[in-house]
Amino acid sequence: MAGITDLPLRRIVSGFGAGLVVSEMVASEEVVRARPEARARAELGFSEQATAVQLVGCETRWLAEAARLVEANGARIIDINMGCPNRRVTNGWSGSALLRDLDQALRLIEAVVGAVKVPVTLKTRLGWDDGLLNAPDLARRAEQAGIAMVTIHGRTRCQFYRGSADWSAIRAVKEAVSIPVIANGDITDSATAGRALRQSGADGVMVGRGVKGAPWRLAQIAHDLHGTPAPRVPEGAALADLVAGHYEAMLSFYGEEIGLRVARKHLGWYLDTSGDAHLRPEIMQSESSRTVLRLIRHAFDGPPPEREAA
C-alpha cells in the first residue's frame, strides 16, 4: 500500500510478530537512479527481518539493476508487483497491465530471478478483466521461471477495489502450481482470513487495509488460525504509548514538516479503531507535534484535555 506501509509502520507490525511484511511499491528505475523522492520513500529496511522489497517496472534492464541493488543492500526477498491497478502505473505498462502481455511479464520475471540469489516472489491479480482471467497461466509460467511464491488479489485489474474479492477464484492458481500461493483482498480479521483460506485453498493470507489502526492484527490472525503466540493488544496507557511512538517515529523518518502531514491518516485510523473521536478535529488540524502528542495521551488514555490558552 503505497503511502501507508512505510518503514515506521512495518517495524510496528513486525514487532507484534507478523510472518512477512512488504515494502511500499517502488519504481525500479527510481531506485537505480536514486532520485530524491524515491530515496525518501525507499528507506526500505533492506536488512530488516522478514521484509520483502517490492519493485515495479516494465523494462528488464531497470528491474534487474534494481533487484541487484536492493540485494546488495541486504534485501532478503524481492517481490515483483504485477497487480497494481493504478492508471499511472498501467499506462506505463507496469503493474497489472502486464496481465495483458504474459510474454513480457515472463521476460521481466526472468530478468529479476536471473539477477539475484535471494528468493523472488510475485504479486498479481486474477486477470485484466472478466474476459482475461489468466492468473493461473501466469503463475505456472512464473514458477517455471523461478518464482518462489505468488500472491493473488482476488479481483481483476478492471475491478480496481470495487465489489468483493473472489477468494474461490484463487483456487485455480493454487491448483496450477506447487509453490506457495497467498490469498489477498478484503481480508480484515480472523474470520475473513479463515474464509479466504477455505475458499481458495491457499497456503496463507496477505492483509493490507486491515492493519490500518490495528498493527497487531496480522499476529492476531496467525494466533487464531494457527495457534502462534497471541499478541498483547494494547489498551489504555499502552495504546497511547504505541500511537505516540508511531507518531514520533514518523516525524523522525520524514522530518517534522512532512511527518506532521503524513502521520495524520495513521492517527485517524487509530482513532477510528479505539480512540476518542471527539478529539479528531484538534489532532488532525494541529501544526504542533507537541500538542498532538499531548492530545494522543488524552485520546487513548485519559480525560478530555484542558484547552491551551490562546
pLDDT tens profile 208-222: 999 999 999 999 999
Q: Could you give the CA distance from residue 213 to residue 273 in angstroms, rounded to a whole number? A: 6
Cβ neighbors of 180 (< 8 A, separation 6 or more) are: 148, 149, 150, 203, 204
Positions at the binding site for FMN? 54, 123, 153, 208-209
pLDDT band at 26 (very low <50, low <70, confident <90, very high): confident
On the question of pLDDT at 310 being above 50, the answer is no
pLDDT of residue 301: 84
Q: 74 near 50, Cβ under 8 Å?
A: no
Positions marked active-site: 84
The predicted-structure confidence for 113-130, as pLDDT tens digits, reads as follows 999 999 999 999 999 999
Residue 278 CB burial class (10 angstroms; 0-12, 13-18, ≥19)? exposed
Total length of the chain: 310
Q: Could you give the CA distance from residue 63 to residue 69 in angstroms, rounded to a whole number? A: 10
Class of domain 7-226: alpha beta
pLDDT of residue 37: 52
DSSP secondary structure code for residue 116 in this structure: -
pLDDT of residue 15: 92
CA dihedral 86, 87, 88, 93 (to 10 degrees): 100
pLDDT of residue 276: 85
Cβ neighbors of 294 (< 8 A, separation 6 or more) are: 305
pLDDT band at 111 (very low <50, low <70, confident <90, very high): very high
Whole-model pTM: value is 0.90
Q: Could you give the CA distance from residue 221 to residue 284 in angstroms, rounded to a whole number? A: 30
Average pLDDT (141-170) is 97
Average pLDDT (264-286) is 92
Q: Could you give the CA distance from residue 166 to residue 136 in angstroms, rounded to a whole number? A: 14
pLDDT above 70 covers a percentage of the chain that reads 92
On the question of pLDDT at 40 being above 50, the answer is no
pLDDT of residue 47: 63
pLDDT band at 2 (very low <50, low <70, confident <90, very high): confident
pLDDT band at 39 (very low <50, low <70, confident <90, very high): very low
φ, ψ dihedrals at 153, nearest 5°: -80, 130
pLDDT of residue 38: 52
Cβ neighbors of 243 (< 8 A, separation 6 or more) are: 267, 270, 275, 296, 299, 300
pLDDT of residue 70: 87
φ, ψ dihedrals at 307, nearest 5°: -75, 140
Positions at the binding site? 54, 123, 153, 208-209
pLDDT of residue 303: 63
pLDDT band at 151 (very low <50, low <70, confident <90, very high): very high
Domain positions in the chain? 7-226, 236-301
Cα Rg of the chain, angstroms: 20
Q: pLDDT averaged over the chain?
A: 91
pLDDT of residue 5: 87
The predicted-structure confidence for 71-89, as pLDDT tens digits, reads as follows 888 888 999 999 999 999 9
On the question of pLDDT at 155 being above 70, the answer is yes
Average pLDDT (104-111) is 98
pLDDT above 90 covers a percentage of the chain that reads 77
